[in-house]
Amino acid sequence: MNKAQLVEAIADKLGGRQQAADAVDAVLDAVVRAVVAGDRVSVTGFGSFEKVDRPARYARNPQTGERVRVKKTSVPRFRAGQGFKDLVSGSKKLPKGDEVAVKKAPKGSLSGGTSSRSTVKKAAAKKATTAKKAAAKKTTAKKTVAKKTATKAVAKTTAAKKTTAKKATTAKKATPAKKATTTKKAVAKKTAPAKKAVAKKAPAKKVTARKTTAKKTTARKK
């Protein structure tokens, strides 16, 4: 059965060929858009359509037998529901007449007032907004890390400058004091021998004075 035959099969139930063609196109379009967006389309009793990612792999060319590398790709996949499997295998009998083979959706599950296209668009918009928020969070986290590292580097440089300044000031204070003490010691060493020499010469003067007095007394006796 091709698409035209499918339209013919449901035309009587939908009130005409054009209505049936529009219905088939709308259903297929909604399924394709949802699967491309990464959503899973599930129909109770029929099956589910979903997107599957295949990693890069090696395959063989069936004509030449040559080994060929196949790139990473995504493919659609359909999984039949349990009711569909039971009907195909024969464990359940196909209903006759106008009764629907696929299990009908429960009451209230189809209410909501939104079409399939709008739901697909909303899902895509939500994914885009979440991706933007995640990217914004990553950029803000990177900026905060960069700021923290910059502040740490500035703090290290300021601490190093302070330590070098303290060392320079202590070195400047220590050198004049040492020079002053060394100069005082040198002056003390120079002045101490001079005082001793003067003290030794003083008794010599006294001795000479005594001799002169002795001479004067001898002259008087004569």
Closest by CA to 36, choosing from 104, 124, 107, 111, is 124
Provide the residue count of the chain: 222
SS3 57: strand
CATH number of the domain enclosing 47 = 4.10.520.10
Give me the pLDDT at residue 212, please.
44
Q: How confident is the model at residue 208 (pLDDT cuts 50, 70, 90)?
A: very low
Closest by CA to 188, choosing from 180, 178, 198, 199, is 180
Segment 117-128 shows an average pLDDT of: 59
* 187: Cα within 13 Å, side-chain hemisphere: 6
pLDDT reading at 200 higher than 50: no
Give me the pLDDT at residue 162, please.
76
- Inside any domain, residue 175: no
The tokens for 125 are 């918009």
Q: What is the pLDDT of residues 142-187, one digit of tens each?
A: 777 777 777 777 777 777 777 777 776 665 655 554 554 555 555 4
- Inside any domain, residue 148: no
- Inside any domain, residue 34: yes
Host domain of residue 71? 3-53+67-96+112-132
- Inside any domain, residue 40: yes
- The domain tally of the chain equals 1
More confident position, 110 or 75: 75
The tokens for 87 are 């009907």
pLDDT reading at 210 higher than 60: no
- Inside any domain, residue 126: yes
- Inside any domain, residue 26: yes
Range list of β-strands (E), the chain:
41-43, 47-54, 57-60, 67-70, 73-80
Give the C-alpha separation, 52 to 60, whole Å.
22
- Inside any domain, residue 28: yes
Q: How confident is the model at residue 33 (pLDDT cuts 50, 70, 90)?
A: very high
pTM as predicted? 0.46
Give me the pLDDT at residue 105, please.
64
CB 70 within 8 A of CB 58: yes
